[in-house]
Amino acid sequence: MNTTLEKLKERIKDKKYKLTTQRQTILQAFIDAEEKHLCAEDVYVLVKAVAPDIGLATIYRTLDLFTELDLLKRLDFGDGRNRYELNDEEFAHFHHHLICVKCGCVKEFEDDMLETLESIIAKKLNFKTIDHQLKVYGYCGDCQEKMKAEEEAEAAQKGE
């Protein structure tokens, strides 16, 4: 049995909410998804294949509830859409996001380099950090290659 799903089910039960079939389907979509930063529309597409009766409004309400229950983390990557990722111990490691400003892809990287900064903040300012997010904006490797090819083509065209 899927231990992640079981842990999340238990957290819902502990907070006195029912795990309806629709909520379980939406939760399972996050567990199964290859892409870990899903917007409501992404969830809708994944869920429609399994449960065509679940509407987009239900997905939005469920995402809000799961965020409130701390099952999901809401993320803002500056593209005008909220994205969500599981907030489970299995996924709770500190990780940071690399966001391509050209194609919008988001990649995670794990490096706890901010722990040093957190300990300095704790000592100097008597502030205990419980979470942090680092978002780095730039160009992914694919987009860099495309831009380079476009620049070379443009330069060749001007040279003619």
Length of the chain: 160
Residue 107 has pLDDT above 70, yes or no: yes
Whole-angstrom CA distances from 57 to 93, 97, 99, 149 are 31, 28, 28, 43
Task: Round to whole Å and give the CA distance between 115 and 103.
Answer: 30
Q: What pLDDT is stored for residue 91 in this prediction? A: 47
Q: What pLDDT is stored for residue 78 in this prediction? A: 77
pLDDT in tens, 21-74: 999 999 999 988 877 789 999 999 999 999 999 999 999 999 999 999 888 989
pLDDT level of residue 158 (50, 70, 90 thresholds): confident
Closest CA to 107 of 35, 29, 39: 35
Q: What pLDDT is stored for residue 7 in this prediction? A: 81
Q: What pLDDT is stored for residue 1 in this prediction? A: 47
Please state the rounded mean pLDDT for residues 96-101. 82
Q: What pLDDT is stored for residue 94 in this prediction? A: 63
Residue 112 has pLDDT above 90, yes or no: no
Burial-class residue 65 by CB neighbours within 10 Å (0-12, 13-18, 19+). Answer: middle
Tell me if 100 is assigned to a ligand binding site: yes
- In the three-class reduction of DSSP (H, G, I as helix; E, B as strand; rest coil), residue 38 is classed as strand
Q: What pLDDT is stored for residue 64 in this prediction? A: 95
Tell me if 105 is assigned to a ligand binding site: no
* Crossing angle of helices 3-14 and 21-32, rounded to 10°: 140
Please state the rounded mean pLDDT for residues 121-135. 83
Q: Are strands 135-138 and 96-100 parallel, antiparallel or unpaired?
A: parallel
Share of the chain above pLDDT 70, in %: 90
Whole-angstrom CA distances from 12 to 18, 29, 67, 141, 160 are 7, 16, 11, 40, 66
Task: Round to whole Å and give the CA distance between 125 and 6.
Answer: 39
pLDDT level of residue 137 (50, 70, 90 thresholds): confident
What domains can be seen in the chain, in order of their start residue? 1-92 (1.10.10.10), 96-160 (3.30.1490.190)
Task: Round to whole Å and give the CA distance between 113 and 94.
Answer: 10
Bridge partner list, 96: 109
Tell me if 132 is assigned to a ligand binding site: yes
| Interior angle at CA 18, CA 60 and CA 21, nearest 5 | 65
Residue 160 has pLDDT above 70, yes or no: no
